[in-house]
């Protein structure tokens, strides 16, 4: 179980080490409303350009509204449904693509929404929950199912819950789950001089 | 000094309460290389679609390379230069717009880069630093100055340093600095049923 970073270069707050994206969720351990709200609250306090707060979250809490949760599950890519069906909460992070104050396109809408979503994931990690964001979902189906307005764009589905047992996953997913958590070297993503110098 | 959230609805980890975006930086208090690297390290561990890690950071550390820092400062909107000139570190968060594995457009490049940037800001908050992201900068000038490749897009400038005295700001900025930190209500950004139900 890959719960530790395999190639850290510098110390960070433990929250960043705790957050990762497993596929093994515990279907028998529901998430309390209070904990769900604490995760959403962290997203709420993300920074945004012009303070526009473009993030919008569709929240499907199986315990509260199983029909809605099932609808979202069915919008996920089949391969994601295999494991996400055990997550007691499924969300879709959406972004309001135009500024509220002038209706013009918001160049930072997706960027800011990504910040809100990872805040949700970090807060989840801080209280013992796990999250897994997915790009693999049918955005048109999500839009139709949840009546998403034209100027709002579904960006990512998010599974939220408690960690389950790896051995409940199929073999392929088990291998991924056990693989080392790695990242590019810091030198590959930081430019202290510029690109071609 | 607006260092507390004025309308929290639920408890979150203190890191989310500590992070905010002041304009008053302490020009006389440099940021150590170690602390700068710890912030970049947090960004490094953000989640990303296909594990592409599309974030790239131009890093201008005044103490290490004042000429480069000055170049980036001059790319900021004049109104941002007024206060950002006191920040000992200036960065630009950029995003690699195509997937490394197939060269196709990455629908999540900006979303994932926003996650990396806010991770940097949260880690900064955790070690007593402050950050302020800016959309107000000349992206073309940044591209030309730092020789940014065509498939990389500058998204946001980031000022990083220690908090300075509010009274050093001009009156307009002082008023903003002292204003309450507020957000939309959680009910306005969460959809537990869908949009029109």
pLDDT tier for residue B4 given thresholds of 50, 70 and 90? low
What residues in B contact A2, CB-CB < 8 Å?
none
Q: Which residues contact B129 (CB under 8 A, 6 or more apart)?
A: B31, B35, B39, B160, B161, B162
Does the pLDDT value for residue B196 go beyond 80? no
Separation CA A55–CA A112 (nearest Å): 7
CB contact under 8 A, A37 and B65: no
Q: Please answer whether residues B149 and B75 qualify as being in contact, where contact means their C-beta atoms are separated by less than 8 angstroms.
A: no
Whole-complex ipTM: 0.97
Q: Which of A38, A60, A65, A191 to mutate to test the interface with B (most CBs of B within 10 A)?
A: A191
Does the pLDDT value for residue A187 go beyond 80? yes
What residues in B contact A119, CB-CB < 8 Å?
16, 118, 122
Nearest in space to A88 (alpha carbons), one of A168, A23, A31: A31
Residue A187 forms contact with B (CB below 8 Å): no
Does the pLDDT value for residue A57 go beyond 90? yes
Averaged pLDDT, A64-86: 98
The domains found in chain B, sorted by start residue, are 14-19+27-177 (3.40.109.10)
Separation CA B163–CA B170 (nearest Å): 16
* Range 20-39 of B in CB contact (< 8 A) with A: 20-21, 34, 37-38
Does the pLDDT value for residue A197 go beyond 70? no
Please name the helix (run of DSSP H) or strand (run of DSSP E) that holds residue B71, with its range, or none. helix B66-75
CB contact under 8 A, A56 and B114: no
């Amino acid at each position: 179980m890959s719960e530790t970073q395999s190639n850290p270069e510098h110390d960070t707050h433990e929250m960043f080490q705790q957050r990762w994206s497993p596929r093994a969720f515990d279907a028998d351990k529901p998430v309390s409303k209070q904990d769900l709200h604490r995760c959403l609250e962290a997203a709420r306090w993300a920074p945004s350009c012009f303070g526009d707060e473009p993030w919008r979250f569709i929240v499907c809490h199986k315990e509260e509204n199983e029909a809605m949760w099932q609808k979202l599950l069915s919008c996920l890519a089949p391969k994601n449904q295999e494991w996400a069906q055990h997550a007691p909460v499924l969300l879709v992070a959406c972004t309001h693509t135009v500024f509220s104050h002038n209706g013009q396109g918001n160049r930072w809408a997706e960027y800011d929404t990504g910040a809100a979503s990872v805040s949700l994931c970090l807060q989840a990690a801080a209280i013992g929950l796990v999250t897994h964001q997915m790009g693999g979902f049918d955005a048109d189906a999500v839009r139709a199912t949840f009546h998403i307005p034209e100027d709002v764009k579904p960006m990512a589905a998010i599974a939220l819950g408690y960690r389950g047992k790896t051995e409940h996953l199929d073999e392929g997913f088990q291998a991924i789950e056990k693989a080392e958590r790695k990242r590019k070297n810091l030198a590959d993503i930081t430019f202290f001089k510029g690109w071609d110098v």
